[in-house]
Amino acid sequence: MTSSEKSSVGNIEIIVKDLGKRFNREWIFRNLNYKFEPANVYAITGPNGSGKSTLLQVLWGQLPQSKGELKYKNASHEIPVEEIYRHLAIATPYLDLIEEFTLLEHLRFHFKMKRSRNNMDEHEILDKMQLTKARDKHIANFSSGMKQRVKLALAFFTQADLIFLDEPTTNLDSNAASWYHEQLKGLPLQCTIFIASNQASEYPQNAKILNILDLK
């Protein structure tokens, strides 16, 4: 097994103690004590502008916390925050795609840096995306719904233990939303999944709910 393969193997838990984030004098959230365990879906809920996205960005290591501890652990060791990117996949409405690329070029670019889940090839991924006919179309010419499907597909089909989905059905029509739920159900059981949403339809009924308003 190569070092890159080792980096994407292993159930990971996120342990936070007294975690908080503030901008200037405003606390976005604080006093969060929690153990996020593998094989669970966590729904981060709350109204628009309440800080759900900020909490996700702290949890995946993009934003530093203002207080408290944040640790990533698998069965054998603790993972440094600067290495956690190897283990995660992200889909957010504010994530930029490279619009000068065709869909096929974008897939090839992404999967040069990340392994595909189950070693799927580009043809399998295009088929699962249900966008095979758009393979040579430039991302700039995609509809907002097609772009969101691409973002979700990159998260779903990347080999990752931690999956972060922020408002995942943004710009999706009913058929694309059904596709989203089908792919969500198909993720490996050992994954830890985070879904930030103010719509109960975006996360499964068995999700563990964390309302950010309780952390103000």
Which structural domain range is residue 55 located in? Answer: 3-215
Distance CA 98, CA 154 (A): 13
Q: In the sheet where 67-73 sits, what is the strand order? A: 26-36, 13-23, 67-73, 78-79
> What string of pLDDT tens digits covers the 216 residues of the chain?
333 333 444 589 999 999 999 999 999 999 999 999 999 999 999 999 999 999 999 999 999 999 999 999 998 899 999 999 999 999 998 999 999 999 999 999 999 999 999 999 999 999 999 999 999 999 999 999 999 999 999 999 999 999 999 999 999 999 999 999 999 999 999 999 999 999 999 999 999 999 999 998
Q: ∠191-144-137 over CA atoms, to 5°?
A: 95
Q: Which two tokens stand for residue 28?
A: 């976005």
Measure the CA–CA gap between 103 and 55, rounded to whole angstroms. 30
Count structural domains, the chain: 1
Compute φ and ψ for 94, nearest 5 degrees. Answer: -95, 5
**Runs of H (alpha helix) within 85-202:** 103-113, 122-129, 144-156, 174-185
Q: Which residues contact 208 (CB under 8 A, 6 or more apart)?
A: 40, 41, 42, 43
Assign residue 31 the CATH number of its domain.
3.40.50.300
